[in-house]
Amino acid sequence: MPIDLGGLATVLQLVGAFFGVYLLAVWIGLVVWTLRDVRSRSRELFTTLLSVAMVLLFNLPGILLYFLLRPRETLEEKYERELSEEALLQDIEEKRACPACQQKVQDDFLFCPNCHTRLKRRCENCHRITSLRWNICPFCGAPNTSPTPGASPTDVPK
């Protein structure tokens, strides 16, 4: 029984063409994905070009290399992290600033040296520094008898 060589060659050609197109599609897909990914991570043209070139030239090993070298955070993640860090910093600074004049004060200041606003109080029982917002001394439980926050400069002891 003779083998139809012509038919076999056609089938092989078709299979070859199919795989060729398939590989090309995967390759283009990887390059496009890399381009998108790197642009979400960096605005630098050099980084973008280098990453795309890596995948363009080396394909799968290139993308492995890209995974190792790409910026860890996306720009969005970086922005959010910076935002939360800033908020945290502001929170700390707010606690250490006079609520009336925003002058920097130390944790144990009882009055703002700039505008004379009362910042903290000293417990009359145990003489430790406590917040004006608390009704009792957190150290000894004695009731807070000091004036309310936002006291005027007239409260400054002579």
112: left (phi over 0), alpha (psi -120 to 50) or beta: beta
Nearer to Zn ion, 67 or 139 (CB): 139
Minimum distance, C-beta of residue 149 to Zn ion, in the bound complex (Å): 13
Among 126, 134, 150, 152, binds Zn ion (CB under 5 A): 126
Q: Which stretch in 10-18, 62-70, 73-81, 93-101 sits in contact with Zn ion by CB under 5 A?
A: 93-101
Tell me: does residue 151 bind Zn ion (CB under 5 A). no
Measured CA to CA, the distance from residue 107 to residue 119 in angstroms comes to 9
* Residues 101-120 close enough to bind Zn ion by CB under 5 A: 101, 103, 112, 114-115, 117
Measured CA to CA, the distance from residue 25 to residue 127 in angstroms comes to 77
Nearer to Zn ion, 43 or 127 (CB): 127
Those residues with Cβ within 8 angstroms of residue 136's Cβ, 6 or more apart along the chain or in another chain: 142, 143, 144
